[in-house]
């Protein structure tokens, strides 16, 4: 298959699921070509969704954050692991209560489905990425779990790409709680099929007509493979070609960045 056929296969997909951290931006810096890619999505009439494991922001918060970087994307185009976590718990245990270590995006998502915050005897301990993380919060989470609370992680990413290198993500924050309690968290975000199926449902497109673009082999790419959609890896986030080769599975396509993808998609 030559390059033109590769490009036509990508152009031909009707539904596009796209990660954000390491794909559209690193930290507060937009990755070159991200604007061109979003413009192509709009101009070509694609059904698209930014499906992110980040739980710190609400969809409105993400719209505003990207707006500050120069991208105007409607909040309906965002689906986060915080929303997926809230949906999961609303289905499993409606009106339950939780002790939450996380930022506003997670708190808002849980509140919106009627899950109350409880710092005495919660049903669940829920952990997402946050800078408001300390010894006392870890100790309280451990205490609640030892007294019967269930442990939930918004997503299994150990790190996220920042402007100055990698920063801790949800799994890194959960690790000491798991180690001390001996309990393993249930992670709701990618590659969990629950989140992927929701994404495809929101797009209204069959898996065979969809693709996922991401920067992580262990969440984005394996999620795409297991869901049966075409996989595209970009090397602008946490994965290098050397790291990619250590995995027993491969993406369908590999690009240096979203900008390289955009340059090919607009190629006549």
**What CA–CA distance (Å, rounded) separates 169 from 11?**
32
Of these residues, 2, 21, 36, 74, which one is catalytic?
Answer: 21
Strands 159-162 and 165-168 come out as antiparallel
Of these residues, 2, 6, 19, 74, which one is catalytic?
Answer: 19
For 186, the token pair is 């249930």
Report which of 63, 53, 149 is spatially closest to residue 100, judged by C-alpha positions.
149
Q: Could you confirm whether 19 is annotated as catalytic?
A: yes
Find the Cα–Cα–Cα–Cα dihedral 111, 203, 250, 158, rounded to 10°: -10
Q: Could you confirm whether 21 is annotated as catalytic?
A: yes
**What CA–CA distance (Å, rounded) separates 268 from 263?**
10
Active site residues: 19, 21
């Amino acid at each position: 298959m030559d390059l033109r056929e590769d490009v036509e296969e990508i152009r031909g997909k009707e539904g596009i699921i796209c990660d954000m951290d390491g794909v559209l931006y690193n930290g507060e810096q937009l990755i070159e070509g991200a604007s061109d890619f979003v413009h192509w999505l709009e101009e070509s009439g694609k059904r698209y969704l930014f499906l992110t494991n980040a739980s710190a922001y609400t969809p409105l918060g993400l719209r505003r954050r990207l707006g500050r970087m120069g991208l105007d994307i409607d909040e309906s185009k965002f689906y986060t692991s915080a929303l997926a976590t809230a949906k999961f718990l609303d289905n499993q245990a409606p009106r339950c209560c939780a002790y939450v270590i996380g930022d506003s995006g997670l708190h808002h998502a849980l509140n919106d489905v009627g899950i109350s915050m409880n710092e005495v005897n919660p049903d669940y301990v829920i952990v997402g990425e946050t800078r408001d993380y300390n010894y006392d919060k870890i100790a309280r989470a451990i205490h609640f779990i030892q007294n019967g609370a269930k442990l939930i992680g918004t997503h299994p990413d150990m790190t996220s790409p920042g402007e100055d290198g990698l920063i801790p993500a949800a799994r890194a924050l959960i690790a000491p709680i798991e180690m001390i309690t001996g309990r393993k968290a249930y992670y709701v975000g990618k590659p969990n099929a629950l989140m992927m199926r929701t994404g495809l449902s929101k797009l209204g497109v069959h898996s065979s007509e969809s693709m996922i673009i991401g920067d992580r082999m262990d969440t984005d790419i394996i999620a795409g493979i297991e869901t049966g959609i075409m996989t595209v890896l970009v090397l602008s986030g946490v994965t290098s070609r050397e790291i990619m080769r250590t995995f027993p599975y491969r993406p369908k396509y590999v690009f240096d960045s979203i900008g390289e993808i955009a340059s090919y998609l607009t190629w006549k």
